[in-house]
Amino acid sequence: MSEKHTLLRVEDLTVRYRTRGADGRAAVDGVSLTVGRGEFVSIVGESGSGKSTTIHAALRLLPPSARVEATALELNGHDTARWKDRELARLRGPFVGFVPQDPGTSLNPVKRVGAQVLEALRLHRRVESGPGRELAVAKLATAGLRDPQRVYRQYPHELSGGMKQRVLIAIALANDPALLVADEPTSALDVTVQKVILDHLAHLRDTLGLGVLLVTHDLGVAAERSDRLIVMQHGRIVEEGPAARIVTDPRHDYTRRLVAAAPTRHSTRLTSTGTRLESGGRPSPGATPKPGSASSTGTGSSTGRVLTPPTVIGSSPERATPAPKATRALLEVRELTKTFAHGGVRAVDRVSLAVRAGTTHALVGESGAGKSTVARIAAGFTAPDSGQVWFDGARIDGLSRGKLRPIRREIQFVYQNPYSSLDPKFTVAQIIAEPLVALGLLPRGPRRHERVRELLDDVALSREHLARRPAELSGGQRQRVAVARALAAGPRVLVLDEAVSALDVSVQAQILRLLVDLQHQQGLTYLFITHDLGVVRLVADEVTVMRAGAVVESGSVTDVFEQPTQDYTRRLLDAVPAGEPDRAAVAAVVA
């Protein structure tokens, strides 16, 4: 750091929010950090750790309800702690560019992309239409957009998620800043698009000498590109140092848990603890492991934040236990096609796959690959244009709603976003009871209440959660409630549509462990939809890779991961974080 000009310095930062019902705890407590020219620094930690509050405080972007105290808040050597907005505007843009998290809400939907880049340019300089257009197009090109002239004329809704994120980078770069601050810029993107965006940030650091401050909950993503990592928990920095050292030799228990929880392409499959979990995540009294299962137990909590550490089969991909070979197909689709009338898009093109009873079949691919459409057809929610759906040896496509009703009980969905899939007005008890009422299984009475409590036990939540509403739950707790609701009908198949993609990596690991345990205990079959091949390695027996509506490759997880036959599969695998930084950097630290 001594050789690098310091672009950002934060010293002893504390932030508290003045809101009704606040208990006075600091959202950020005593945080100090620096970023130098040409340096890539990442702040990592779970949701609520104070990452975003820290950078918003450093840039003076917090709302009036935030009370900020700091020994220093310096940008380019200027202490901005008491600057007015007009003074700060001289540094925002020309010195520091900011890339917000969600391009869907950060871009104006009724303005063309070019107008929005021009708007950023004109905040700090006078530019005529002709030169301004050329400069805006150049910024779009610098941000990595392949056809900047076309993008300049488009509206945000005409762009993919990755392209929108690049537009935000172009806007942040409009006035040639020395420092780029990015707040979770890839959290909503496919793994391949995520890799491209973050690689481009590293490229800008290398070519333009930018200082980059990245906020992310994904330690694996940060480690591969960062010079330094700052790990935050509960508003405090718990560990800081070179990325290579943090990943290879984490010294704080929380950092070790983050490293252990991050799925990578070299992860090995989770296996069940072999015990039934009580509401605290503990095995129930008298529970005995099933033959051949791991018998280790661990502690938990009523919040679902701590579970038994993941047990893996083998210590390397080569030693992973292969999937069972003799089970029959419980759910099968044959030669499915589906075209949506709007735009004539062929969403599914002659897709076939079989999900064997008691196993997990992963369906992977980027956004728009057709994964969710296949899942909805398989579950009877969407009718195919052609092809067949078979469940337990009987064909179910084309059945009337009445005849499909008992099948719906057997095949249940767990949706992607636990923040929108639960009715915010319902209590947890009402949410879990919903299928029992809707399907006429236990419409009323004490037996229904008893069953709801049993389901809460199944997903390792305490009964004190029954009267709570979704807003009072964490993301992991909400997804546990969603799983309990799906289990209420007594299904044999769960369709999990990106069920862990919206969760922090450690919470994701807990939900994956829960799913593995439930499968072991109840003999469940999973169709697991995801774009993350690191997660696939943890839970799946077989995998089907989709691209543009068609199957690209299918087989056992071991075969597809170790010997992929298609270039597209190889690209997906290459985009999965390896879980460590550049090996040369590791060697330097070890030496």
Alpha helices in 355-445 (DSSP H): 371-378, 401-410, 428-438
According to DSSP, residue 500 is labeled T
Distance, CA of 196 to CA of 191 (rounded, Å): 9
Domains detected in the chain: 1-92+214-265 (3.40.50.300), 329-574 (3.40.50.300)
Q: Note the pLDDT of residue 277.
A: 40
**Dihedral, 242, 245, 251, 254 alpha carbons, nearest 10:** 70
Distance, CA of 272 to CA of 293 (rounded, Å): 7
Distance, CA of 312 to CA of 516 (rounded, Å): 11
Q: What is the pTM of this model?
A: 0.70
Q: Note the pLDDT of residue 578.
A: 63
Distance, CA of 451 to CA of 514 (rounded, Å): 19
Please, which residues have CB within 8 angstroms of residue 571's CB and are 6 or more apart in sequence? 192
**Residues pairing with 329 in the sheet:** 356
Distance, CA of 365 to CA of 408 (rounded, Å): 26
Residue 358 is encoded by which pair of tokens? 């008691």
**Dihedral, 569, 573, 576, 577 alpha carbons, nearest 10:** -160
pLDDT in tens, the chain (591 residues): 445 789 999 999 999 987 655 556 788 999 999 999 999 999 999 878 899 999 999 999 888 888 999 999 999 888 888 888 778 877 787 899 999 877 778 899 999 999 999 999 988 887 777 888 999 999 999 888 889 999 999 999 888 777 888 899 999 999 889 999 999 887 767 777 778 888 888 998 999 899 999 998 878 788 888 999 999 999 999 999 999 999 999 999 999 988 887 776 666 677 766 443 433 333 332 333 333 333 333 333 333 333 333 333 332 333 334 444 446 899 999 999 999 776 567 889 999 999 999 999 999 988 778 898 999 999 998 999 999 999 999 999 988 888 888 898 999 999 877 777 899 999 999 999 999 988 888 878 889 999 999 999 988 888 888 999 988 887 788 889 999 999 999 999 999 988 887 777 778 888 898 899 999 999 999 999 988 888 898 899 999 999 989 999 999 999 999 999 999 999 888 887 765 544 344 334 333
Quote the strand ranges of 96-198, DSSP E.
96-99, 179-183
Angle between helices 567-575 and 191-208 (to 10 degrees): 60
